[in-house]
Chains A and B, each alone.
Chain A
Amino acid sequence: MNYWLQRAGMAVLLLLAVSMLTFGAMNILGDPLFNILGPVSGAKDLQGTAQADGYALRTQGEIPSGSYTIVDDVDTLDHREAVLVATGDTLPKRADTIAGLDAVSATGTDITIIGGVVPGQLVMNGPEPSQLADVEAAEQEFYLDQPLPVRYVSWLTDFVQGDMGPQFSKTGEPPVTDLIKERLPRSLALLVMAQLMATIIAIPWSLWSAAKANQPVDRVSTVTTFLIIALPNFALGVILKYVFAIQLGWFPQTFNAGDSYLEQIYQLFLPALTIALPAAAVYQRLLRTDLITTLQEDFILMARAKGVDRRNILMKHALRPSLFSFITVFGINTGALIGGALVVENIFRVPGLGSAIVEAVLVEDFPVVLAIVMIVAFAFVLVNIAIDVIYSLIDPRVRR
């Protein structure tokens, strides 16, 4: 009992650590308000070439002159450009500003902008009056007016209750929870199919290999596993797509979310196979060696002496005790497969969590990214606990 409490406590601690790290990194490195509202100023459209202390600046717009405080370091780039993060009166802003470099380096913490701004992103002295309402609404909605720890706790309370909040976009629609509800089943189906296929391939393959241990057939199969493992999954995906979808035409090339469930499973076959093949190779190597070891145990000799035939020895006597490390690696591998699924979903255009996270990352839609990261971490922890349970069911000694 004590053991399980400790185990669960560890899992919760781990999830908290993961969420804290991710949440912190996103809020410190990114600028939530910028992501929600975009550049808060109308100056984006302004045209003009600005001059600052004689340097010609590569700008398309103009920003009002004035004093700004630099929040972050000033990063000097080529062409006498400076990237800096400055703040106005009320609003933290991220800006890739190309401003007069002399003015920047002169004071260190304060910058006087004489002119110049990068297209799109902007340093300004606070939002324009017309946008104040938007800003306030966004701040309330995303708890942005709170300090970071408070924000984290609010997010966590919502999250635990199943509300993952709105997306970081102007409308916030659809809510992250809905998006996840739509995407998760597909990824889950893909992973379950992949693991099933891997197991179905690996068990007979390893039994066959172990029965013919060190014979030419077995050596060929060992080399085969080695080759499969060396082929990265995106390359394997491209090859499978080329052979089975394009040359042979047995499977569709892409996924269509509108089709019936049966069709969808059929469409998921190739992506699942892409994930399953390398996994099967890993499992096969492992099971084969375990089987060979088990086959040398005394109780196998005993069974053989009693006249049990080869097939029954392999299937009934040797397989079960050999499954230990297979179960462990099955669990550990689930994590690696989730990573692989992200890539494979993109090859076969499966709109699952994998493509969702990539889309979200590209537009810096952090609530979505955070939700997916948490789901993945949660799944991983869950699988590991499940393995522990299975282990202790098979072998009570583990519980100590």
Chain B
Amino acid sequence: MSLPESPATLAADSILEDQPSEAMATRRTLGVGFWIAIGWIVLIVLAAILAPYLGLKDPDENYINRDLGRPPYPPSSEFWFGTDNDAKDVFSRTIYGARVSLVVGFAAIACGMVVGGTLGLLAGYLRGWFDRVISFVFLVLLSFPALVLAILITALLDRSLRTVAGTLGFLSIAPVGRLARATTIQFSEREFVLASRTLGAKHGRIMVRELLPNVLIPMGALALLGVAVAIVAEGALAFLGLSVEQELSWGKLILFGSGSRDLQEAPWISMGPILILFLTVLALNFAGDRVREYFDVREVSL
């Protein structure tokens, strides 16, 4: 789960606003689009949590209907996204699939924020050999494709929800940690840190009271993007047959419908989950971008 594009696009987006007056005006509000995106995310999260109470069809029940002939049935008012070959309702499966995808996405980033943030903050503040070791570890972690690493870990351990979320969390440590470290280095030379130190504050206090709040803002902006990356990574793992075994997830649903015959005869089996996944990732990316612009994170990008 790498976030390699983020520093680059980060820098890119901020240079993009070349007309200062207009740029300031747009940057200072989050905009309608942001709230729509947040609304969609909230909707999906609520739907996932409340799935059993929404009166959805049972995701594992075969709704064979003699009038319609043999399944798969195309989308209709009864089956919004159609059904798969076993006459299971694709829409309700997509909503239930959201549970695993979202849990993995949010848990992974939370783990990355806590561990990566702490390590990055310590490395950036303490410098010296600790910084060198941590930076090297980050470099090693970032030095080969995250997906390969994820495949390796899930293969060596098991494929429970905990392991998959933990693996992706582990992978998000390095990108988050690097950002935290860079931000800390930048802020630790600012006047208010110097002032605090002159007043006799201990290292712990400086880190928690002075640096942490400043580091949290860019990390928070990164987190929204990171959730999207984690959801996609879980999907990719599921696609390789290496994600959570028992439960449904979006990646798995798309995989189920991606065979040549299914695509030919019943494209809706995969297109339904693709649509929801796409909209969710889009909303997360968009919201993350807006937050980043709003807080003007550009100066801490590298």
Chain A interface residues (CB < 8 Å from chain B)? 13-14, 17-18, 21-22, 25-26, 29-30, 226-227, 229-235, 238-239, 241-242, 246, 253-254, 282, 285-286, 289-290, 292-293, 296, 325, 328-329, 332-333, 335-336, 338-340, 342-343, 346-347, 357-358, 361-362, 364, 369, 372-373, 376-377, 380-381
Return the chain B residue nearest A242 by Cβ: B263
Q: Which residue of A lies closest to B11 (CB)?
A: A325
* B126 interfacial by beta-carbon distance below 8 Å: no
Q: Does A343 contact B236, Cβ atoms closer than 8 Å?
A: yes
Contact A289 B16, beta carbon cutoff 8 Å:
yes
A338 touches B145 (CB 8 A): yes
Q: Which residue of B lies closest to A332 (CB)?
A: B4
For B4, the chain A residues whose CB sits under 8 A away are 329, 332-333, 335-336
What 0/1 readout, one digit per residue, does chain B (135-158) give for beta carbons within 8 Å of chain A?
Answer: 010011001111110011001110
Interface contact B144-A246, CB-CB below 8 Å: no
State in angstroms the CA–CA spacing of A289 and B12 once bound together. 6
Instruction: Using A235-B254, A361-B152 as known contacts, say yes or no to A335 and B145 having CB atoms under 8 A apart.
Output: yes
Instruction: Show 14 residue pairs from A and B whose CB-CB distance is below 8 angstroms, ordered by the A residue.
Output: A18-B143, A227-B282, A230-B228, A230-B282, A241-B263, A246-B260, A254-B260, A289-B13, A325-B8, A329-B4, A342-B236, A358-B240, A362-B241, A377-B144
Chain A residues with CB below 8 A from B2, complex form? 335-336, 339
Please determine whether B278 and A376 come into contact, CB atoms closer than 8 angstroms.
Answer: no
Contacts of B240 in A (CB 8 A): 342-343, 346, 358
Contact among A285, A346, A361, A377 for B9, CB-based, below 8 A: A285
A333 CB contact (under 8 Å) in B5, B232, B270:
B5
Within 8 A of A (CB), among B248-294: 251, 254-255, 257-258, 260, 263-264, 267, 270-271, 274, 277-278, 281-282, 285-286
From known contacts A246-B263, A364-B155, infer whether A339 and B146 are also in contact, taking CB-CB under 8 Å.
Answer: yes
* Interface size counted on chain B using CB atoms at 8 A: 51
Q: Could you say which residues of chain A place their CB within 8 Å of the CB of B286? A: 226
Query: Which B residue's beta carbon lies closest to that of A374?
Result: B144
Looking at the assembled complex, report how far the CB atom of B149 sits from the nearest CB atom of chain A, in whole angstroms: 8
Smallest CB separation, A18 vs chain B (Å): 6
User: CA–CA, A26 to B157, complex, Å?
Assistant: 10
**Selected contact of B140 from candidates A18, A328, A329, A373, CB within 8 Å:** A18
Question: Given known contacts A30-B156, A342-B147, is B277 in contact with A232 (CB within 8 Å)?
Answer: yes
A336 to B175, CA, bound (A): 13
Measured between alpha carbons, how far is A14 from B5 in the docked complex, in Å?
22
Given A232-B236, A335-B143, A361-B155, 17 other A-B residues pairs in contact with their CB atoms under 8 A: A13-B136, A229-B5, A231-B281, A232-B235, A232-B278, A246-B260, A285-B9, A289-B16, A290-B15, A292-B15, A333-B5, A336-B4, A346-B239, A347-B239, A361-B242, A362-B241, A376-B145
Choice from B151, B236, B285 contacting A229 with Cβ under 8 Å: B285
**Which residue of chain B lies nearest to A292 when distances are taken between CB atoms in the complex?**
B18
Report whether B13 and A18 are in contact in the complex, using a CB–CB cutoff of 8 Å.
no
Q: How far is the CB of B169 from chain A (nearest CB, A)?
A: 17
A242 with B254, Cβ < 8 A, contacts A18-B143, A253-B260 known: no
Q: Is the interface of A mostly helix, strand, loop or mixed?
A: helix
A227 to B11, CA, bound (A): 20
Question: Which chain A residues border B136 with CB–CB below 8 Å?
Answer: 13, 17
Binding site for A on B (CB under 8 A): 2, 4-5, 8-9, 11-13, 15-16, 18, 136, 139-140, 143-148, 151-152, 155-157, 228, 232, 235-236, 239-242, 251, 254-255, 257-258, 260, 263-264, 267, 270-271, 274, 277-278, 281-282, 285-286
With A226-B285, A380-B144 already in contact, the answer to whether A373 and B236 are too (CB < 8 A) is: no
A residues within 8 A CB of B270?
A: 238, 242
Contacts of A289 in B (CB 8 A): 12-13, 15-16
Given A235-B278, A286-B9, A14 contacting B263 (CB threshold 8 A)? no
* A-chain residues with CB within 8 Å of residue B257 when the two chains form the complex: 238
In the assembled complex, the CB of A250 is this many whole angstroms from the nearest CB of chain B, namely 15
Cα of A333 to Cα of B8 in the assembled complex, Å: 11
Residues of B within 8 A of A232 (CB): 232, 235-236, 277-278, 281
Q: How far is the CB of A132 from chain B (nearest CB, A)?
A: 29
Find out whether the CB atom of A233 lies under 8 angstroms from the CB atom of B236. Answer: yes
Which 8 A-B residue pairings sit nearest by Cβ, starting from the closest?
Answer: A339-B147, A339-B145, A361-B155, A230-B282, A289-B12, A232-B232, A29-B156, A377-B144
User: Is the beta-carbon distance between B152 and A22 smaller than 8 angstroms?
Assistant: yes
Q: Which residues in B have their C-beta under 8 angstroms from that of A234? A: 235-236, 239, 251, 254-255, 258
Q: Does A238 contact B263, Cβ atoms closer than 8 Å?
A: yes
Q: Which chain B residues border A285 with CB–CB below 8 Å? A: 9, 12
Nearest-neighbor residue (CB-CB) of A15 within chain B: B143
Within the complex, the shortest CB–CB distance from A17 to chain B, in Å, comes to 5
Looking at the assembled complex, report how far the CB atom of B4 sits from the nearest CB atom of chain A, in whole angstroms: 5
Residues of chain A lying within 8 A (CB to CB) of residue B156: 25-26, 29-30
Q: How far is the CB of A342 from chain B (nearest CB, A)?
A: 6
B232 touches A336 (CB 8 A): no
Indicate which residue in A227, A231, A286, A347 contacts B258 across the interface (CB closer than 8 Å).
A347
Given known contacts A239-B274, A343-B239, A380 and B18 CB-to-CB distance under 8 angstroms:
no
Assess whether B151 is in contact with A376, with CB atoms less than 8 Å apart.
no
> B236: nearest residue on chain A (CB-CB)?
A343
Contacts of A286 on B, CB cut-off 8 Å?
Answer: 8-9, 12
Contact residue among A231, A235, A357 (Cβ-Cβ distance under 8 Å from B148): A357
